[in-house]
Amino acid sequence: MRCSKTIVGSFDNKEIIAYNVKFENGFEVEILNLGGVITKIITPDKDNNLENILLAYEDVNDYIENPYYYGAIIGRTSGRICEGKITIDNKPYELNKNYVLHQGHGGNKGFNKKIWEVYVEEHTNINEEKNYVTLILSTVSLDGEENYPGNLEVNVTFNIYEDYKIEEIYKAKSYETTLVNMTNHCYFNLSGNIKRPITESYLKVDSEYILELDNTCVPSGKLIKVENTPFDFSNLKLIGKHIDDNHEQIKIGNGYDHVFMLNKDKEIYMEDKESKRNMTIETNQESVVIYTSNWQHEKVAYTGRVPQLRHGICFETQAPPIGKDMCFMENSMLHKGEEYYQKTDYIFSVSE
């Protein structure tokens, strides 16, 4: 097991540093201090080919703009906030709008644009337990940043285990009531090195409802039962099977770009039948936005090619975004003196 750090660029008069964790078995994870971006998750396929299962840029400087939030920590909030309008303790706030009518993913300069402080701990267990490396990323979001109230102290811990598991623990606290709803924006592709579209992978999501989106992609406040709709993944299903169906919600999202409300088991499972790679996501969050990369990207990935449509899938575990008439706002509220806590685990394996 080794953990190295390399200066790979600069932004905002600070160094961009890549923290690379690699185990004897080839499992490798790389995280930047810029935006907490995960640039590499390298796992074996059925033939032990070690390949990256993420979309990631070839040029690290592309993470400075990162318009599609590749691999990034998202915050203060995730998804769209309808018209940027919130009310906290009867006081109205107008959050910065970077998504035309709405605020998206924390605004013009969300957590993906921060240079985070990084603290590294290596844990080598001689008694045959799992070796792991801990990266603790911390930052402060000041009162008034993107028009949010309250100074917010944030840290995101990545525990990276030798047996192909990444634990993410998000914590935040403020001395004023504010909003927090963080996530991670990795685009996964289990074919390895972006060889095939994610529409050829299979997905199972323990969810009976999605949130209805209006035609500007914000929650209307209504729930839609997934049964007998393209959004039903209650049994393992080919992602591409209904992704272009003539369904109003599919047309609004141009594919899947929706909030799946999770049942108590909260299991999300994806597998690629050709590589035999699979991944399980376990989370304490009440929902997950599943986004199937429905808009053409422009920048070249590490493969030397621009990722095509549907060549990455995001599982943005979070509270439901704040929609029309401030629906679901309480789900993102962090009352003063409370601590925000999210735990989301990624567990990777190879199917028999």
Q: How far is the CB of 1 from ligand G6D (least distance, A)?
A: 33
Cβ contacts of 248 within 8 Å, gap of 6 or more:
none
CB nearer ligand G6D, residue 231 or residue 291: 291
Q: How far is the CB of 128 from ligand G6D (least distance, A)?
A: 41
Which residue in 77, 130, 129 sits closest to 319, CA to CA?
77
CB nearer ligand G6D, residue 68 or residue 328: 68
Q: How far is the CB of 201 from ligand G6D (least distance, A)?
A: 19
Q: Residue 341 half-sphere exposure, CB side, CA atoms within 13 Å?
A: 4
Q: How far is the CB of 55 from ligand G6D (least distance, A)?
A: 11
CB nearer ligand G6D, residue 21 or residue 213: 213
Q: How far is the CB of 142 from ligand G6D (least distance, A)?
A: 24
Q: How far is the CB of 2 from ligand G6D (least distance, A)?
A: 33
CB nearer ligand G6D, residue 105 or residue 171: 105
CB nearer ligand G6D, residue 27 or residue 291: 291
Q: Reduce the secondary structure of the chain to three states and give it as a string.
A: CEEEEEEEEEECCEEEEEEEEECCCCCEEEEECECCCEEEEEEECCCCCEEECECCECCCCHHHHCCCCCCCEECCECCEEHHHEEEECCEEEECCCCECCEEECCCCCCHHHCECEEEEEEECCCCCCCCEEEEEEEEEECCCHHHCCCCEEEEEEEEEECCCEEEEEEEEEECCCEECECEECCCECCCCCCCCCHHHCEEEECEEEEEEECCCCCEEEEEEECCCCCCCCCCCEECCCCCCCCCHHHHHHCCCEEEEEECCCCCEEEECCCCCEEEEEEECCCEEEEECCCCCCCCCECCCCCCCCCCCEEEEEECCCCCHHHCCHHHHEECCCCEEEEEEEEEEEECC
Q: How far is the CB of 68 from ligand G6D (least distance, A)?
A: 4
* Cα dihedral sign, 266-308-186-193: positive
CB nearer ligand G6D, residue 160 or residue 217: 217
Residues that bind ligand G6D (CB under 6 A): 68-69, 217, 257, 289, 291
Q: How far is the CB of 69 from ligand G6D (least distance, A)?
A: 5
CB nearer ligand G6D, residue 259 or residue 270: 259
End-to-end Cα distance, the chain: 26
CB nearer ligand G6D, residue 19 or residue 68: 68
Q: How far apart are CA 121 and CA 272, in angstroms?
A: 33
Q: How far is the CB of 81 from ligand G6D (least distance, A)?
A: 13
Cβ(38)–Cβ(71) below 8 Å: yes
CB nearer ligand G6D, residue 171 or residue 258: 258
